[in-house]
Chain A
Amino acid sequence: MTLHSLFRRVGVVLFGFAGSTAVLAADPLNVTGDKFRQLEELLPTPNTYRAASGAPGHAYWQQQADYDIKVSLDDDKQRITASETITYKNNSPDTLRYLWLQLDQNRFKPNSSGNLAAPVDVESIAPDTIPFGSFRREVVSAEFDGGYQITKVADARGRDLRHTIVDTGMRIDLPQPLKSGESVSFRVDWEYNIIEQKALGGRSGYEFFERDGNYLYEIAQWFPRMAAYNDVSGWQNKQFLGRGEFALEFGDYRVAIEVPADHIVASTGVLQNPADVLTREQRKRLDKARTAKKPVMIVTKEEALENEKDRARGRKTWVFKAENVRDFAWASSRKFLWDAQGYKKGGTDTLAMSFYPEEGTPLWDKYSTEAIIHTMDVYNRYSFDYPYPTSISVNGPVGGMEYPMITFNGPRPEIDEEDRSKRTYSRRTKYGLISVIIHEVGHNYYPMIINSDERQWTWMDEGLNTYVQFLAEQEWEEKYPSRRGDARKIVEYMKSENQVPIMTNSESILQFGNNAYGKPATALNILRESVMGRELFDFAFREYAQRWKFKRPMPADFFRTMEDASGMDLDWFWRGWFYTTDHVDISLDAVKHYTVGTKNPDIEGPWKREQFEQEPETVTVQKNRTQRMTRIVDGKPELSDFYNEHDEFDVSNADRNSYQGMLEGLEDWEKNLLKVESNVYVLNFSNIGGLVMPLFLQLDYEDGSSEELRIPAEIWTRNAQKTSKMLVRGKDKILKSVTLDPHWETADTDVENNYYPRRIIKSRLELFKDEKSRNLMKDWDEELKED
């Protein structure tokens, strides 16, 4: 069947054009549903702290928390002992009678809410099995003496302060209320056992290397710290259950880290006493690295291997200072190799550095520092110039985690234990490492500097960061295997019904990776490429970063800024993608072909006859002919008259006079329209998935030509379930086929209804069966070997 016969070829009355294509709804409010309704009642009312434009309001405020910390690492017991003085400045307009601190390590107390609330049901999993990871954690948690031991809470003069510990929080009651604009200093002493990261998971911990008996520490969530207090949530004292990450205040830090004398320390901030802890040679190499074009080894592999053999008796204290950071983390080991390279561009003047055990080579020396610099290079363009003096990537037990200026990243090559010089790494490990470094270093922007509330909204940092990560990956090399970003990668998830909206609190998210990383990142990429265009999107997205750097944005501030800076009403997009679980499935239901009725009987008569003659004969007529039926008028010609000679299509003078009469009544422009020899097509669409999206069309004509059309989403405004589009094309442009979303840019979940005429779309399983010659494990893991 050709498309031609599918088209209805109907003459239409010219004056019927106006308004005839849109299906008018009987109940417009109900039919359009809420798809284009403004977000007004869903968003908080703008106020002096947060403006309607999405920018910080004229009375915006945030608290300031400065820390002076002394910490000692016990390498024999894997234990931290520390003391801090916190200076808290109340910039809010409120008077505070008590302060809330976060005790994140208490997550690892055997009776923490995080542990107690972890559900497990062994019965239904598989016969006679229990979750291995859960089991190991359960056993280790029960034995492990985790969590903070708070040994002192005192005011500036050393007098004990009343305090109450509530799971992962601590309330300190102030002797005098802290008024707006005032500061208070107080002291907390504490100790805790560092967790073994591999046994208990989490975002920090130690790794033990059996072969040489050394430890590698990645230390984070290691000090009692101020809970966030802000204009939206008051105290953000939601417990740390292990998933919803952190809500933190900016501040200045001075941290003195005492470790075994032969340890190398990587840390947030700038080292204040290099002469005390580094050799003259190491300091010289660091200087050289500042202007180097390639990473410079500060501690070489040979030096690190030598270092890890001995155990120093003495201790050294590394002092770091960091300004305007919301958190502080560090790493320490005698196993570290260390490389560095300066990066200076625009407002950025920083030192990119990597710390890794020799087990990380030959992957880490090749890619880590380069990936850090690449990340800043790309992110700077889409947000702001990286403002901190260092950016570090550390290899240790944590798979991937971000802190200001320092990130922990996991992937390592495989080592042949019989010949340790033989090392391989798979494709997955290589790209896994580059991607995780881009992702974690990218978190410096979202949320370390654009300080969104992670405990509340995971998507604001993970989603936005995963989106820019995708851009940075695609700038690393052509065909970079990005996991997230392209619309086609999210289709399976989008069509699943068991979703929760992106706008869901962190702890309640189902399918974390897809909900908080994949879907928002993909939505933003679609918004950029297919809805707003790169120029408008990039300007608005950068404006959001500029407005909110070193401040705390909320979801509405992002939504509003994107509209404010682009001049586009995107409420329909936020509503559909962020507030609902609808998906895109638009069906191209029908293509109708119309031609213009000229009204001229001398043209219309023959045309109508032609149409009639194209109709198939009835069966009766056919059979009568084969049976050579004789008719009465054949034998009696006297029964024939005028009507036997002229059929209904013949044109009479009366018809012609009537046509002339009509023409005289028309304006010139109306007469000209009647002469247009156009093909008119009406395309009918229905919205099955619920999400309204622009319509992207590819039109292929019989003459071999092809065109693409991009129709804005607003075509759905009057009716969000069904819509139609009329296209007027020249007389030679006979449509052969139409494809909706030809580049798969909308995450349309069912493409079978995207073609006219319909096509059979093979399932993934069918395609797999078709490729007989395929090597099943080909892509599983290709080994990269070094000669």
Chain B
Amino acid sequence: MRFMMPKSFVYCFMVLVMTLASQAHAHRYHFGITELSVNERTQSLEISHRFFVADVERALSLSAGKEMKDAQKQMEAYVNQHFQLKSESGQLVKPSWVGMESDVHDVWVYQEVPLEAVQGKAFVVRQSMLMEIEGDQVNTLNLTRDGKTESFTLKPGASAVEIRL
């Protein structure tokens, strides 16, 4: 036996989708965590989302169109659909996509916004990833600055919260 690396995202992603059928868990987690972190040093509002790989696979397969060419593009579209920063005037602030990584259990998605674009302003943050699949999904939103963390619990029915950066 030998280990083989997937040749492309396409191949890799197709495998992911097929895995789903057999991945049912009695011990499910239905939990995700999004960190908004003010990095004064790099003048960036860092955004990282950590979710369970199995949950995300399931979400992507259900939200996918007929053609799934690029797993990362699809993930980006999915995250942009469910994680949103809206300013007081109702304008969407679109974070730039930094990338994603994963280990056996978790997937991390990274985004960022220049600090000057958001600092001192109020936003409505919605993080409804996976809530379209499970009615008991709980997403934690952590806002960390100056070493202090504020937490918000987001659930179906209350997936958005107002914060001031």
A118 x B135 contact (CB < 8 A):
yes
Does any Cβ of A come within 8 Å of B150's Cβ?
yes
**Does B125 make an interface contact (CB < 8 A)?**
no
Q: Which residues of B contact A749 (CB under 8 A)?
A: 149
Given contact pairs A124-B157, A483-B105, A496-B149, A512 touches B5 in the complex (Cβ within 8 A)? no
B27 within 8 A of A: yes
Contact of A782 with B3 in the complex, beta carbons under 8 Å: yes
Q: Which residues of chain B come closer than 8 Å to A513, judged between CB atoms?
A: 27-29, 31
Query: Would you call B142 and A492 a contact (CB within 8 A)?
Result: yes
User: Provided the pairs A511-B138, A781-B16 are in contact, do residues A120 and B23 lie with their beta carbons within 8 angstroms?
Assistant: no
A760 CB contacts on chain B under 8 angstroms: 41
Most interface-central of A426, A462, A763, A782 (chain B CB within 10 A)? A763
In the complex where A121-B157, A766-B39 touch, is A426 in contact with B81 (Cβ < 8 A)?
no
Interchain pairs with CB closer than 8 A, number: 209
Which A residues are CB-close (under 8 A) to B47? Answer: 765
Q: Is B65 an interface residue (CB 8 A)?
A: no
- A765 adjacent to B156 (CB under 8 Å): no
* Residue from the list B6, B101, B132, B151 in contact with A783, Cβ < 8 A: B6
Q: How far is the CB of A750 from chain B (nearest CB, A)?
A: 5
For the complex formed, measure the closest distance between the CB of A499 and the CB atoms of chain B, giving whole angstroms. 8
Mark contacts of A493-517 with chain B using CB atoms, 8 A cut-off: 1 yes-contact digit, 0 otherwise. 1011110000000000011111001
Q: Are A496 and B33 in contact (CB under 8 A)?
A: yes
Q: Does B92 sit at the interface, judged by CB under 8 A?
A: no
B132 touches A768 (CB 8 A): no
B5, A398: Cβ atoms closer than 8 Å: no
> Does more than half of chain B's interface fall in helix, strand or loop, or is it mixed?
mixed
Q: A400 vs B28: C-alpha distance in the bound complex, in angstroms?
A: 9
Which residue in B35, B41, B134, B160 is a CB contact (below 8 Å) of A492? B35
Residues of A within 8 A of B153 (CB): 498, 510
Does B82 reach chain A (CB closer than 8 Å)? Answer: yes
- Residue numbers in B under 8 Å from A143 (CB-CB): none
Across the interface, A131 reaches (CB within 8 A) one of B5, B82, B133, namely: B133
The verdict on A424 contacting B15 (CB below 8 Å), with A121-B156, A513-B29, A776-B101 known, is: yes
| A contact face: mostly helix, strand, loop, or mixed | loop
Contact flags (1/0) for B89-106 with A, using CB distance below 8 Å? 000000000111111110
Contact of A152 with B by CB under 8 A = no
Checking B15, B98, B103, B107 against A481 with a beta-carbon cut-off of 8 angstroms, the contacting residue is B103
Contact A401 B12 (CB under 8 A): no
Which residues of A have CB within 8 Å of B24?
Answer: 197-198, 201, 397-399, 410
Q: Is the CB of B72 within 8 A of A777?
A: yes
Query: A129 touching B108 by the CB < 8 A rule?
Result: no
Min Cβ gap A686→B in Å is 12
Whole-angstrom distance between the Cβ of A605 and the nearest chain B Cβ: 45
Q: With contacts A412-B22, A497-B150, A774-B101 known, is A510 near B133, CB below 8 A?
A: no
Residues of chain A contacted by B135 (CB below 8 angstroms): 118-120, 131, 133-134
- Known A-B contacts A119-B156, A124-B160, A410-B25; the reply to A780 vs B149 at CB < 8 A is no
Q: Are B19 and A783 in contact (CB under 8 A)?
A: no
In this complex, what residue of A is CB-closest to B46? A765
Stretch of A168-176, A293-301, A427-435 lying at the B interface: A427-435
- Measured CA separation A784–B28 after assembly (Å): 26
Contacts of A739 in B (CB 8 A): none
B157 touches A119 (CB 8 A): yes
User: Are B128 and A776 in contact, with the CB atoms below 8 A?
Assistant: no
> If A131-B156, A776-B100 touch, does A126 touch B1 (CB 8 Å cutoff)?
no
CB within 8 Å of B: which of A735-779? 749-750, 752-753, 760, 763-766, 768-769, 774, 776-779
> Which residues on the B side are within 8 Å of A134 (C-beta)?
133-135
Assess whether A155 is interfacial by the CB under 8 Å rule.
no
Instruction: Name the residue of chain A whose CB is nearest to the CB of B143.
Output: A497
| Closest chain B residue to A242, Cβ basis | B136
Contact B5–A763 (Cβ < 8 Å): no
With the chains together, A427 CA to B6 CA distance in Å? 12
B104 touches A428 (CB 8 A): yes
B147-A785 in contact (CB<8A): no
How far is B25's CA from A517's CA once the two chains are assembled, in angstroms?
A: 15
Within 8 Å by CB of A777, from B46, B71, B112, B133, lies B71
Of A426, A765, A780, which contacts B110 at CB under 8 A?
A: A765
| Alpha-carbon separation in the docked complex, A638 to B130 (Å) | 92
Q: By the criterion CB–CB under 8 Å, are B33 and A492 in contact?
A: yes
Q: Known contacts A498-B151, A776-B72; decide if A400 and B42 are in contact (CB<8 Å).
A: no
Q: Are A481 and B29 in contact (CB under 8 A)?
A: no
A411 within 8 A of partner (CB) = yes
Contact B100 A411 (CB under 8 A): no
Contact A495 B27 (CB under 8 A): no
Contacts A/B (CB < 8 Å), 7 sampled: A121-B156, A125-B128, A398-B26, A401-B26, A410-B25, A511-B31, A765-B44
Report which B residues bind A (CB closer than 8 A): 1-6, 9, 12, 15-16, 18-19, 22-31, 33, 35, 37, 39, 41-42, 44, 46-48, 50, 53-54, 62, 71-72, 81-82, 98-105, 107-108, 110, 112, 126, 128, 131-138, 140, 142, 144, 147, 149-153, 156-160
